[in-house]
Chains A and B, each alone.
Chain A
């Protein structure tokens, strides 16, 4: 199954990182939605209903996990796959993320653009 015409939402407060992710996904034929914090992310997710969300954790206004908690309360949002792409070095949030049904947890230190893309494709094909 092709992942073309699938919709991905990138929630990331760092402009440069958000842009890099968008470029890679657009090249692969994804429709990309962007949000620069959890609050915006929640709003765009509920209206745009992406197939998958790539989410940063530490963000102004609303952090990533708060956004996940809120999205999980929505009937549609209950099952949307979410990949956390964050710079938190310690796995302190992993346990909490698991409980919230996070699909994957990638650190920015160890995973590049190619890796994120591959994970997204894997999850969408599964």
Chain B
């Protein structure tokens, strides 16, 4: 976008030549004067030719620049995404046509004004996102590219105060390592939201349709086992119990599959509310108690006295506890020892679940959280298992803003550790590695 070069002023040269002619005429030696005259004439013609040539080059260069500028503008305005560029203070310095249309502002109305003030960002509930939690500020602070990430949905507020859901990526612009501004890209994801809605409806429907026949099987097993319509012999009772166990397994499998579907579709909703970890642990332990007793495991629990009520999604946390504890019971041979500990840390609670079970072979450590993966020794010891449990655990924990990891040696037990933040992270954004580096043309 440089300024066009001015052609050199050829006319002035000619005037200078007039002065030269006067000087020339004052030379008394005719032959010398003639020689010099011819030579000067030649120089002048050469010079003029060179100037003309340079001017032609400049014209071509100017035309090229104008074309590049037009191309750049055409590119910026034809991009389907809104683009807003700001300086290091968040002052708008450029906005493309698409962004003007989406936001309802004209470039001339908002250039030079603060992006944070002109385009407020809101969360689902309509709370305005504070300046320090805006993507632009996060990009400045992290010096990295940041993006909005589902399932948390953000909205931009238009000039007319209406709002639309956005997907956005902001890149900081660095010049010689210094932040000089940011480029924000955003799109209206209204249509995508409708698709999400359809996906969620599908999962709900599938869940209902798959579960109903299982419920019927379970209820009629119960009716027969109640023996109100005739006594059963021992073998018949046993057969029916097998049906019920398989039915329960199927039901759990459906729950797992639906959870995986939600994770993979990105429609897993996190609903944070006051969550009592001890109460959740107690209810999960109650569930696994029959197995603990049957296998004669020693089970110890250590709960931190200062364990606070955290603000998280109890449904997801419960599922994590349930998966990890039932794994521990399942993959520990009879008369093993199991430990559950809940410990308050600075910004999170750490859940650790240890067992003295079959452990995980070293060469399979890297695949433990992969979908459908089951370790060789696990497969050998326990035929039933979906390979989905730990994948769900990892996805849920990450969705809650926490971390999960483990330590294990084959036949030496396993210890799984989970951290759950005391409160959900304020901003739910994806931070990528590469900032935009800006090299000005010299």
- Give A contacts to B, CB under 8 Å: 14, 16-17, 20, 23-24, 27, 58, 87-91, 108-109, 112-114
Contacts and interface: CB of A to CB of B under 8 A. Distances in A.
Interface residues of B, number: 19
A57 B245 CA distance: 26
Nearest to B228: A27
Contact of B215 (A27, A90, A108, A114): A108
B396 to A, nearest CB: 14
A27 B211 CA distance: 26
A91 B211 contact: no
B36 interface: no
Interface stretch (B42-50, B135-143, B216-224, B397-405): B216-224
Contacts of A108: 211-212, 215, 218
A14 B207 contact: no
A108 B217 CA distance: 11
A14 to B, nearest CB: 6
A87 B222 contact: no
Interface in B179-221: 204, 207-208, 211-212, 214-216, 218-220
Q: Which residue, A27, A91, A112, A113, has most C-beta atoms of chain B within 10 A?
A: A112
B17 interface: no
A113 B211 contact: no
Contacts of A89: 207-208, 211, 255, 258
B211 A16 contact: no
24 contacts: A14-B216, A16-B216, A16-B220, A17-B212, A17-B219, A20-B219, A20-B220, A20-B222, A20-B223, A23-B223, A58-B208, A87-B207, A87-B211, A88-B204, A88-B207, A88-B208, A89-B207, A89-B258, A90-B207, A91-B315, A108-B211, A108-B212, A108-B215, A109-B255
Contacts of B251: 109
A89 B258 CA distance: 10
